[in-house]
Amino acid sequence: MLAVALLAVIALQLLSAAPAYADVVEPTPPATGGVSVDINGIDGTPSASILTLLGITVLSVAPALLVMMSSFTKIFVVLAMTRNALSLPTIPPNQVLSGLALFLSLFIMWPVLTDINTIAVQPYVDGGITFTDAVALGSDPLRTWMLAYTREEDLALMTRFAGFDNPEAAADVPLQTLIPAFMISELRAAFIIGFVIFVPFLIIDLVVAAALMSMGMMMLPPVMISLPFKILLFILVDGWGLILRTLVESYGGGG
Would you say residue 78 lies in a domain? Answer: yes
Would you say residue 43 lies in a domain? Answer: no
In 3D, which of 206, 183, 167, 170 has the Cα closest to residue 74?
A: 183
Number of compact structural domains in the chain: 1
Would you say residue 40 lies in a domain? Answer: no
Would you say residue 113 lies in a domain? Answer: yes
**Alpha-carbon distance 50 to 46, whole Å?**
6
Rg value, the chain, Cα: 25
Would you say residue 105 lies in a domain? Answer: yes
| Residues 85 and 198 sit within 8 Å (Cβ to Cβ) | yes
Would you say residue 104 lies in a domain? Answer: yes
Residue range(s) defining the domain that contains residue 73: 63-249
Would you say residue 17 lies in a domain? Answer: no
18: left (phi over 0), alpha (psi -120 to 50) or beta: beta
Q: What is the pLDDT along the chain (255 residues), one digit of tens a residue?
A: 444 444 444 443 444 444 443 444 444 445 455 545 555 555 555 666 666 776 676 666 667 776 778 888 899 999 999 998 888 888 888 888 888 888 888 888 888 888 888 888 788 777 777 777 887 788 888 888 888 888 888 888 888 887 777 777 766 777 788 888 888 999 999 999 999 998 888 888 888 888 877 877 777 777 778 888 888 888 988 888 888 898 888 887 655
**Alpha-carbon distance 79 to 237, whole Å?**
16
* Distances, alpha carbon 124 to alpha carbons 11, 42, 127, 135, 248, in Å: 13, 13, 5, 9, 32
Would you say residue 103 lies in a domain? Answer: yes
